[in-house]
Amino acid sequence: MNETQRISDLINAYSNILLIIHQFPDGDTIASSLALYIALKKLAKNVTIACNDSVPEPFLFLPKAREIKRDFLQGDWDLIIVLDCGDLRRTGYSDRIKAFAGRKKRLINIDHHPRNDLHKIANINFFDESVAAVAELVEPIITMLGVEIEKEIATCLLTAIYTDTGGFMHSNTTPETLSLASKLLSRGARLKLIIQNINNARTLPSLKLWGKALERIVYNSKYEIVYSIITQKDILECDAKSSDVAGVVNLINNIPNANAVILFCEYQGNEIRVSLRTEKKGVDLSRLANFFGGGGHKKAAGFNFQGKISRLVDLR
């Protein structure tokens, strides 16, 4: 029995299901989770979808996005499904998830990140590092459940794929990815709406914030690394939101001949989040992120640490 069938059988067997979106949510974890959430609702399941952080504004256009909760009651969940999050700590609910997995033994992990601690406690790991987005793993589950992939679900799945491939520009875009995207378009996925919200709906505060990051770009010619910073003061001065930082590292990643791009962003609570991007073959950023307790993919990774940004050091 393959993992798709095992997951489908568990979902069919139980009614109370919790879906968890990882902290600092991106398009794949949000949209893939919403696609599965809508499908489970169609099966009359009692479903809650939760994320420890608020949903970034560009993704609020997605159907049912405003039903995502910031927390959940401990409850008597039959089944917990975590999507796009190989790191237990990044769920934001690590203690509760660990306790549930040990007690109920019905924790499903659907992921495409390199294996780490969440894989060790999950009872079913549906894992494929070769896919561009978790949406490519969620789609066959929904199909196996017998739920029609209509306009709302198709739009969610295509959003997940679109964001994790950088609008089909990243090297993780495969023939299989494009084939699924074509299928979703034929099912009514609203590509124009996705592009309008993901690419073209930048607020004035967010553009001012991006301008500060672009103005400070430093290129280290010895290692061919590009880096920049955004401080908490920048966010406040631009009247921006923390979520407005999303996307700027991908823009910087367009600089030719860069082996890697690094963005340091300072948040409230003396937390610094480091985003890593590359399009170079042979560069594995997940190894660097894992060294600092983070995670991600070879081409897109990140990690966090406590501290404050006092100044930008020019290491040309």
Q: Where are the domains of the chain?
A: 3-198, 204-306
Position 167 pLDDT exceeds 70: yes
Distance of CA 233 to the CA centre of its chain: 26
Mean pLDDT of 131-143: 97
pLDDT at residue 23 in the model: 87
Residue 153 near residue 141, CB atoms below 8 Å: no
Q: Are the C-beta atoms of 299 and 172 separated by less than 8 Å?
A: yes
The residue type found at 271 is E
pLDDT at 316: 64
More confident position, 267 or 86: 267
Average pLDDT (196-208) is: 88
Residue 282 has what pLDDT? Answer: 86
Ranges of H-type helices in the chain: 3-13, 27-42, 94-104, 117-121, 135-144, 151-164, 175-186, 191-198, 204-215, 232-237, 248-252, 285-291
pLDDT higher than threshold 80 for residue 166: yes
Do 274 and 302 form a contact (C-beta atoms < 8 A)? yes
Residue 277: what are its φ and ψ, rounded to 5°? Answer: -140, 150
The CATH architecture to which 3-198 belongs is Alpha-Beta Complex (3.90)
Mean per-residue pLDDT of the chain:
92
What pLDDT is stored for residue 269 in this prediction?
84
DSSP summary character for residue 3: H
What CATH number was assigned to the domain covering residues 204-306?
3.10.310.30
Alpha carbon distance 147, 308 (integer Å): 48
Tokens describing residue 51? 């994320």
For residue 235, is pLDDT > 90? yes
Mean pLDDT over 231-260 rounds to: 90
Q: How far apart are CA 26 and CA 304, in angstroms?
A: 16
Q: How far apart are CA 91 and CA 86, in angstroms?
A: 9
Look at the chain and count its residues.
Answer: 316
Residues 88-102 have pLDDT tens digits of 888 999 999 999 988
